[in-house]
Amino acid sequence: MEGLLEKKEILKQFQLEGEVIELKPYGSGHINKTFLVIMEGGERYVLQEINRNIFHDTAGLMENVVNVTSYLKDKIAKEGGEPDRETLTVIPTVQGGYYYRDRAGNDWRVYRCIDRIITLDQAQTPEDFRESGRAFGNFQAQLADYPAQTLHETIPDFHNTPKRYLAFEKAVEEDICGRAASVAEEIAFIRARKDEISILAGLLDKGELPLRITHNDTKLNNVLLDEETHKAVCIVDLDTIMPGLCAYDFGDAIRFGANTAVEDEPDIGKVSLSLELYRAYAEGFLEGCGGRLTPKEIELLPLGAKTITIEQGIRFLTDYLQGDTYYHTEREGQNLDRCRTQLALVVDMEKKWEQMAV
Ligand code: ADP
Ligand code: GN1
Ligand code: MG
């Protein structure tokens, strides 16, 4: 693997014992670079390069992760669970810090690898998806009393949809890659929904929806499921835990996991909203939230799904217009395909709107 020696050197900066016997790319995230590390004693770790183009304050980000995971570990222990399996464990550096900056200025961290798990890029059964809903709902419930003011905002305005819209309009206007004309249809589709995507943000401003501590990246592959029972074991990808709207956490899981096609499917004909998966997730999520949601929050869950699906379409299209610098891509046009699946999913949600009521 490219850079293997450098990675082995980097691993020496962490409190790990013994020699590394295997190191390979792991997972399918779009932001960080993730590697599985196996030591001679058989212990397994996850090494990650944190994407500094996206996260500008690694120290603040890691402080969030360490504080939230230690808070969760206490809760899990009190509930009789397994703290080292049910939440992430950060391995400190030899200097006692939580990340290491290498000579090239890249930031690295190491987690204990949680074993005997699977992660899915698509829901295989409604039961798996219900289970992930329960886990994300429960995650929010566990953090309900967490001191929100101590959290660093790792990406300002992360799910501020009106601001995402403005950034998209700016990218259209600047059109630095000369791609805007070829996506006129997608641009028009988004513009036609401009007012609707601001509704939730408006309700938050008016105090009609509560700000909660949310995960903000509730993709199905951010929950580890037990490989045998398929019960949720652990929520990962804690980089964007910030105050946010519950509807967005619900919605983000739906846009990714209740889509009958994968996120970058080039054949738009395969995209649709599976109502069976949608309902399974909604039931699991509400159960996990444990009765904490207000009637208004519950009523607005479908709008959360639609809003964040448009927001994600906007984000992928913005990146396409700006030359694919934000999301990892493996092929030309991948961000445009990703945008198109999101917009096609919105079309299907509009058709199924009545049936999406929770
Ligand atoms: P990204 O921000 O790039 O999505 P993630 O933190 O989600 O990065 O990690 C990518 C993938 O690696 C996850 O989807 C999951 O499959 C796997 N993963 C991450 N951390 C662990 C861990 N501690 N134990 C086991 N698997 C993990
Ligand atoms: C990114 O890191 P990952 O792949 O779980 C992104 C999310 C998007 C998602 C789209 C920090 O998530 O916001 O919804 O891609 N994360 C960040 O698949 O931007
Ligand atoms: Mg992830």
Tokens for 328, please give them. 């990892």
Tokens for 28, please give them. 């399918």
CB 47 within 8 A of CB 34: yes
Q: How confident is the model at residue 3 (pLDDT cuts 50, 70, 90)?
A: confident
**How much of the chain exceeds pLDDT 70, in percent?**
100
Q: Is 312 in the pocket of ligand 2 (CB under 6 A)?
A: yes
The answer to whether residue 1 scores a pLDDT higher than 80 is no
In DSSP terms, which residues pair with 225 in a beta bridge? Answer: 118, 232
Alpha-carbon distance 60 to 72, whole Å? 18
Q: Summarize the confidence of residues 48-75 as an average pLDDT.
A: 97
Three-state secondary structure readout of 199-245? HHHHHHHCCCCCCEEECCCCCHHHEEEECCCCCEEEECCCCCCEEEC
pLDDT of residue 274: 98
pLDDT tens digit sequence for 277-294:
999 999 999 999 999 999
Report the chain's mean pLDDT, rounded to a whole number. Answer: 97
What residue's CA is closest to ligand 1, atom 21?
Answer: 113
Q: How far is the CA of 324 from the centre of ligand 2 (A)?
A: 14
Q: Which residue has the tokens 């804690």?
A: 238
What residue's CA is closest to ligand 1, atom 1?
Answer: 29
Alpha-carbon distance 274 to 239, whole Å? 29
Q: Summarize the confidence of residues 156-161 as an average pLDDT.
A: 97
Q: Is 358 in the pocket of ligand 1 (CB under 6 A)?
A: no
Q: How many CA atoms lie within 13 Å of 271's alpha carbon, on the beta-carbon side?
A: 24
Q: Is 26 in the pocket of ligand 1 (CB under 6 A)?
A: yes
By C-alpha distance, which of 62, 155, 68, 154 is closest to 109? 62
Q: Summarize the confidence of residues 289-308 as an average pLDDT.
A: 97
* Ligand 1 atom nearest residue 88's Cα: 23
* Ligand 2 atom nearest residue 222's Cα: 5
Q: How confident is the model at residue 307 (pLDDT cuts 50, 70, 90)?
A: very high
Q: Ligand 3 is a single-atom ion; what residues have CB below 5 A from it?
A: 29, 222, 237
pLDDT of residue 29: 86
Q: How far is the CA of 135 from the centre of ligand 3 (A)?
A: 15
pLDDT of residue 124: 85
Please give the biggest Cα pair distance in the chain.
58
CB 69 within 8 A of CB 77: no
Q: Is 319 in the pocket of ligand 2 (CB under 6 A)?
A: no
pLDDT of residue 104: 92
Alpha-carbon distance 261 to 254, whole Å? 12
pLDDT tens digit sequence for 202-243:
999 999 999 999 999 999 999 999 999 999 999 999 999 999
pLDDT tens digit sequence for 133-153:
999 999 999 999 999 999 999
Torsion of CA 214, 219, 225, 229, to 10 degrees: 110
The answer to whether residue 2 scores a pLDDT higher than 80 is no
What residue's CA is closest to ligand 2, atom 15?
Answer: 30
pLDDT of residue 36: 97
Residue 221 has a CB neighbour count (10 Å cut-off) of 19
Alpha-carbon distance 11 to 9, whole Å? 5
Q: Which residue has the tokens 């036609």?
A: 192
In DSSP terms, which residues pair with 216 in a beta bridge? Answer: none
pLDDT tens digit sequence for 244-271:
999 999 999 999 999 999 999 999 999 9
Pairing of strands 100-101, 44-50: unpaired
By C-alpha distance, which of 334, 261, 329 is closest to 28? 329
